Amino acid sequence: MSVGVVEMDRLSLTPKTEGGTATNRRCVKCPEAGILSGLDPKKAVYCRPCFMQMVMHKFRSSIGRQRLFKDGESRKTVVIFDGTPAAAFLLGMIRSGLAADAHHRLQLDPVVVAVVTKLDRQEIDAVIKRIDTIKSYLQCDWHIVHLAAVLSDNLQDLSSSSSEICPGVDQLDRLIELFSSIRSESGRSEMKVRLRTALLYRMTETMGVSKMMTSDTADRLAKLSLSSLALGRGAQMSEDTAVVDKRHPKVAVIRPLKELSDKEVGIFNRFEQLDELTVIVGDPDRASPAVQTITDSFVTHLQAGFHSTLTTVLSSASKVKTATTSRIRCAFCFSSSDDRFCLACRGILDEVGEPSLLPSSLQ
Amino acid sequence: MVNCAKCNGQAALKRPKNGDALCRSCFFEAFEREIHETIVGNDLFVRGDSVAIGASGGKDSTVLAHVLNLLNERHDYGVKLVLLSIDEGITGYRDDSLEAVKRNKLEYGLPLEILTYKELYGWTMDEIVAKIGLKNNCTFCGVFRRQALDRGAWKLGVNKVATGHNADDIAETVLMNVLRGDIARLQRCTQIVTGQEGMLPRCKPLKYTYEKEIVMYAHFKKLDYFSTECIYSPNAYRGHARTYIKDLERVRPRAILDIIASGEALSVKEGVSLPTITTCVRCGYISSQSVCKACVLLQGLNTNEPLLGIRKTSKANKQLQRPPPTSSTSDVSQSGGCGSGGCACNPDTPQSLDF
């Protein structure tokens, strides 16, 4: 029997035969025909059950390797949901992990925080309604918060689940004005990322939780690494991409999807019907070019021609560290700094035309 | 009409680095002052130094030679300047660019030394490409040129080498090293002076100068330079990084300096293995392996196995255990190399290699 290696078309996930030529390749785990591959089609190919098992194993081993949830540590973890296929995948992994029998149970007590970054009120309401339908998938505490909440000086009421108003929407106009006063599109994009991270740190800390889990995949982390390099954050590449990131004095960031690519997640979601859990929580990138969008297309283009690009970039990032010996932490991103703010954050903050619009801790 | 940001006269250009509108003389003054500040701030030169300027005839080395000569006179660095060129043997490209270097030699009154791959290694790039094709030939050229520059400098008796690497080049190199996972180079590629420990120091006075400004400076000063790209490197991987850097610069000009700042802020974590610097057992030049890359590539060429040194195979390692050929000419003849084809190399003429 002659079987072609099936390549998932990048956009539509429709199978097509590679190069139109059938090749006889076997699954690396069992005698079945190999029809699915990870990042590099020239390396291991799998049949469907073994592929699914490989993906799940990558997720479980990235957590197990770190021994985060053992030795009496609190198991409560804030899971960040941003509506992407990777976030849907993460929800699926957690649900199946919690449903497993005693020996395989995921040692984790999740609290899901969904972050909305849309700037139009009607669209925000639509996103919240959509997230409400997703809540039933994972039975645990859910909180929905808007990015603008980072501008609020009082985060205490965010933990309250009795409120019908989405926290942060009251600060929406101020956030819009803040973004308008930033001089460049690159600065706006970077500010959005930094404010979102700052909000998540504050929320997690306010809730009394010491761990936060995100759904960043290898694709996203590699693009983030190169964008950071171009914005002067090269020294932070290692921390920005680590599976466990302990820059913040009280909150550790966990990135269990670091070794999984968008391609693998997409295939898995298709087979497990996890695509139903996706929602677009943010506005699309503007038409005007920015460092971030140029980097995204650069990495995507390079990965198509050189299959080890993502893994090599992440490998490079994990081997470097900041050269400074300063003990000071940047007040914005908590990385090592020679001053109150690190060089890159100061560059972004200097682009803000109205400093009074920033959170008070950053003025 | 836009006015100069400094003297309010009529502006002739807009600086890519910071967007200032400047007239010609203010641009010259700012350009030269920044390079001077880089030289003084990093102690690149000491009075009494002999400095070889790596001159290729292109815009970077032409501007470097011009500015160093100018600043040496203006600020009395007290250094002796020499032009050093490497002829790779690329017909239609290097011979024309070397003509530009010779004209610069006359204009600036600086001594010029030209070394060729043929005399150092026995092979020209034309011959190398004829043997291995267009793929991977940049590896040969880069390895050979790097060593050739050092050997030329030793020959001239200078104690420093200045190269025309500009900010765009260094940003490209930082990016390339991240993309290829070359951690050892990533740590040192942003250093403005390299090779200080007992070796021949190299410095990059144009490290913080944008390529576009170099072009503008050469244009307004009407400097004579050669600008054609190498004909053998149409698909070099570096082209991807270069395109990306240009796109970033268009959107955010300071991104180039930010990438350099990123590279400078990095160091390697403990536990990551780094190569140890030693000398080659065959030619005695600097190497991190027992046999340096130039000798490996040269043996591959001479023994008609050009992929030796390009691919990792145990067979290649065994090949290295054999003693090197005593004479590249005779081996070339026996192995059916240059002498058997239409190559200009004459196997009957004795070739002496400087090993």
Q: Considering only CB atoms, which chain A residues are within 8 Å of B268?
A: 319-321
A291 touches chain B (CB under 8 A): yes
Which of A 233-262 lie inside 8 A of B, CB atoms? 233-235, 237-238
Contact (Cβ atoms closer than 8 angstroms) between residue A78 and residue A140: no
pLDDT exceeds cutoff 90 at B319: no
Return the residue in B266, B269, B272, B273 with the most chain A beta carbons within 10 A, the one to mutate for interface testing: B266
Which of A 292-311 lie inside 8 A of B, CB atoms? 294-295, 298, 301-302, 309
User: What distance in Å separates the CA atoms of residue B281 and residue B291, rounded to the nearest whole number?
Assistant: 6
Give me the residue spans of the domains in chain A: 62-362
Band (pLDDT 50/70/90 cuts) for residue B275 is confident
User: What distance in Å separates the CA atoms of residue B341 and residue B190, rounded to the nearest whole number?
Assistant: 44
pLDDT exceeds cutoff 90 at B217: yes
Q: Considering only CB atoms, which chain B residues are within 8 Å of A342?
A: none
Band (pLDDT 50/70/90 cuts) for residue B27 is very high
The predicted complex's ipTM stands at 0.84
Distance from CA of A139 to the nearest CA of B (A): 42
Q: Considering only CB atoms, which chain A residues are within 8 Å of B187?
A: 320
Which residue shows structure tokens 């490989």?
A: A54
The pLDDT value recorded for residue B323 is 61
Structure token pair of residue A336? 């090592």
**Are A230 and B240 a contacting pair at CB < 8 A?**
no
The pLDDT value recorded for residue B176 is 86
Element (H, E) at B13: strand B13-14
DSSP 8-state assignment for residue B17: T
**Are B248 and A238 a contacting pair at CB < 8 A?**
no
**Are B179 and A324 a contacting pair at CB < 8 A?**
no
- In this predicted model, what pLDDT tens digit does every residue of A293-346 receive, in sequence order? 899 889 998 888 888 888 899 988 988 877 777 768 788 888 888 788 887 897
The two most distant CA atoms of chain B are separated, in Å, by 72
**Are A321 and B266 a contacting pair at CB < 8 A?**
yes
- In this predicted model, what pLDDT tens digit does every residue of A140-154 receive, in sequence order? 889 888 999 888 876
B248 touches chain A (CB under 8 A): yes
Alpha carbons within 13 angstroms on the beta-carbon side of residue B95 total 7
Nearest to B56 by CA among B162, B199, B206: B162
CA distances in angstroms from B150 to A129, A309, B86, B147, B280, listed in the order given? 68, 33, 11, 5, 14
Distance from CA of A207 to the nearest CA of B (A): 34
Q: Considering only CB atoms, which chain B residues are within 8 Å of A321?
A: 266-269
pLDDT exceeds cutoff 50 at B332: no
- Burial code of B202-218, b = ≥16 C-beta within 10 A, e = fewer? bbbbbbbbbbbbbbbbb
**Are B258 and A323 a contacting pair at CB < 8 A?**
no
CATH 3.40.50.620 fits B31-265, yes or no: yes
Q: Considering only CB atoms, which chain A residues are within 8 Å of B258?
A: 229-232, 344, 347
Band (pLDDT 50/70/90 cuts) for residue A132 is confident
B115 touches chain A (CB under 8 A): no
The backbone torsions φ and ψ at residue B8, rounded to the nearest 5 degrees and listed phi first, read 70, 5
The pLDDT value recorded for residue A108 is 80
pLDDT averaged over every residue in chain A? 82
Give me the residue spans of the domains in chain B: 31-265, 278-335
User: What distance in Å separates the CA atoms of residue A265 and residue A157, rounded to the nearest whole number?
Assistant: 35
User: What distance in Å separates the CA atoms of residue A39 and residue A267, rounded to the nearest whole number?
Assistant: 12
Band (pLDDT 50/70/90 cuts) for residue A14 is very low
Helix, strand, coil share (%) of chain A residues, nearest 5:
45, 15, 40
pLDDT averaged over every residue in chain B? 79
| Average pLDDT value for residue range A262-287 | 86
**Are B181 and A312 a contacting pair at CB < 8 A?**
yes
**Are B174 and A313 a contacting pair at CB < 8 A?**
no
The pLDDT value recorded for residue A174 is 85
**Are B252 and A186 a contacting pair at CB < 8 A?**
yes
Taking CB atoms and an 8 Å cut-off, how many pairs form between chains A and B?
A: 106
| CA-CA-CA-CA torsion sign (B180, B185, B187, B190) | negative
Kindly give, in sequence order, each residue whose CB lies less than 8 Å from that of residue A141, ignoring residues fewer than 6 positions away.
Answer: A111, A112, A161
The pLDDT value recorded for residue B1 is 64
| Average pLDDT value for residue range B102-108 | 85
Return the residue in B185, B248, B264 with the most chain A beta carbons within 10 A, the one to mutate for interface testing: B248
pLDDT exceeds cutoff 80 at A189: yes
The pLDDT value recorded for residue A198 is 92
| Average pLDDT value for residue range B286-294 | 80
Query: 3-state class of A177 per DSSP?
Result: helix
The backbone torsions φ and ψ at residue B162, rounded to the nearest 5 degrees and listed phi first, read -110, 130
Band (pLDDT 50/70/90 cuts) for residue B141 is confident
Query: 3-state class of A187 per DSSP?
Result: helix
- In this predicted model, what pLDDT tens digit does every residue of B167-212 receive, in sequence order? 999 998 998 889 978 888 787 788 888 775 556 788 989 999 999 8
pLDDT exceeds cutoff 80 at B327: no
A133-147, A325-339, B16-30, B268-282: least confidently modelled range: B268-282
A11-15, A299-303, B340-344: least confidently modelled range: B340-344
The pLDDT value recorded for residue A109 is 82
CATH class of A62-362: alpha beta
- Other CB atoms within a 10 A radius of the CB of residue A257 amount to 29
**Are B179 and A317 a contacting pair at CB < 8 A?**
no
Which residue shows structure tokens 């951690």?
A: B183
Which of A 210-229 lie inside 8 A of B, CB atoms? 225-226, 228-229
